[in-house]
Structure 1
């Protein structure tokens, strides 16, 4: 019995030839596929984005693995038409049950084309803030700041309003500052501007925003907005609030506290209230109430 090597064919030994080719596919085909996926994703990451690189790597790995498996099955003379026919019937039933998955897949393609965020961005979704870990065709995974992994279906992201906190290199931090009516508002503006200019994390351009937003019940409501690089969020939030408090203390400016003023009309004049503390109840008063306050 002669053995003739002609490309993939081993004449006379079809079963052994199929086994040899299967071993070659497993030992060479799959590793080469992974190397190609890795090199391709590296090039895409270098010229485009990590988002596209991740999608490319997964697509090449899954699709290439499927082709190699089909090649192995054909080598062993599997009847793929029967398998595909059965799979077609099953896919119809499966399609009705997988409508949500299909919707997530299509939404993932839209996210891939729109690119509202990338891996590593900080996003705010439904009052949850975290880093984007991965962007898949079915879902997006986010790591929150308390180190929890949150999986968000792509369909939810398409239908939900979310915020990309780190999309741009600089941001503005707005702080509400309440000042009593008795204070000189122009002097307060000058102090807040000096505090913003002195902060090491505050950018000179754009200039800080100082806005008298509205009148409160007993105070001015002022907004102090400072621009900063997105990586300095925690540092500037802590430092700018401490700087305002320390500067107000030095200037003698008090933060307002909630209080209520009672008004009984023009005919009634204000009268003082003097509180008296009864140190000892006299014997014989029994359970009769003891007046604790009187008007002068």
Structure 2
């Protein structure tokens, strides 16, 4: 028998044929290299590991979800189970090829260099992911906004390395956890999806201000998605009216600024809600003694403004009228 190979015969193995298997038809011996047997065994081990990981996820998935009650922690735990199974499978494959952990261990210097140069960002993101899962600034399904980018979207997935956001423009945004922990993140739906918004309306000084405030509040109450009234809503130690309220905010240059504060039921269609309120207010103020102000300027002239004399004559008394420039030049030179 050749070294590094396996012979298959139809006949019963003899002592000199130790390690051989049965035939492939009984006509000719078939040589199977050892690396082929190792490869087939490794593929078998990986296949079994894949099936075991799927089985464990199916059996333990519901129990883990009931235990943590948070989608991000549930997904992280299930991923850890899959990774653990495949690590065991990888160690088994290493044993098949005759490798030990000591055979592939690097020196302390080389290992430190690899960690510092290549793995440092990955390790930093994983550590940041652990802090995110522990601090719970947002959860899968929450609507968040990155303040520095002015991008708003829904959290699609949270892993130990990155956070995936499904933006309002139907695009995916993947941000490493090490970067997202350094940014200001606004969570619109952490616990209470209701959100308080403000909207300004500038009316002229000649308008009926009290009537304008009443009509603006009534217009906002008629819009869909707006909390019409009810008990005050508490934020920390303060309480705010639940119904829309218009305040006199400022006496501006071109009119009186009225600021409407109102509560939207959901933060998912803020632009739509603002547009509805703008339309309703426009309709309410159309026939009222209220006029929307706009920037304009008035010019006044009095005795202190100075004067400028301007005269126009149909015919000029200058005898040189009608002469060309060349003729005037010749006349000067003469």
After TM superposition, the score normalised by the length of structure 2 is 0.68
Query: How many Å apart are 1:48 and its aligned residue?
Result: 0.9
Aligned length: 265
TM-score by length of 1: 0.76
The 8 Å contact of residues 201 and 232 in structure 1, kept in 2 or not, is answered as no
Asked whether 1:118 is paired with 2:139, we answer yes
Tell me, in whole angstroms, the C-alpha distance in 1 between the residues paired with 2:202 and 2:185: 30
> Per the alignment, in what secondary structure is the counterpart of residue 201 of structure 2?
strand
Are 1:259 and 2:259 an aligned pair? no
1:209-224 equivalent positions in 2, closer than 5 A: 209-224=245-260
Unaligned runs of 5+ in 2: 1-11, 14-18, 21-33, 231-241, 308-313, 323-334
**Structure 1 residues 155 and 174: alpha-carbon distance in aligned structure 2, compared to 1, 3 A threshold:** same
Task: Identify the residue that residue 140 of structure 1 maps to in structure 2.
Answer: 163
Q: In the TM superposition, what are the counterparts of 1:95-244 in structure 2 within 5 Å?
A: 95-97=115-117, 98-125=119-146, 126=148, 127-167=150-190, 168-203=192-227, 204-205=229-230, 206-230=242-266, 231=268, 233-244=270-281
The CA deviation at 1:283 is: 9.4
- The 3 A distance-change label for structure 1 pair 260 and 55 is same
Deviations 1:205-240 (A, max 9, x none): 322232222221121112212212215545423322
Compared CA separation, residues 235 and 41, structure 1 to 2 (3 A): farther
- 1:159 alignment partner, SS class: coil
Cα distance in 1, alignment partners of residues 202 and 61 from structure 2: 52
Greater radius of gyration (CA): 2
1:94 matches 2:114: yes
Deviations 1:1-25 (Å, cap 9, x if unpaired)? Answer: 99xxxxxxxxx79x89988875653
Q: Distance in 2 between matches of 1:34 and 1:130?
A: 31
Q: Deviations over 1:166-216 (max 9, x none)?
A: 222211232111111111211111112211222232212322232222221
Q: Is the contact made by 1:120 and 1:132 (CA closer than 8 Å) also made in structure 2?
A: yes
- Is the 2:197–2:262 contact (alpha carbons within 8 Å) kept by the matching residues of 1? yes
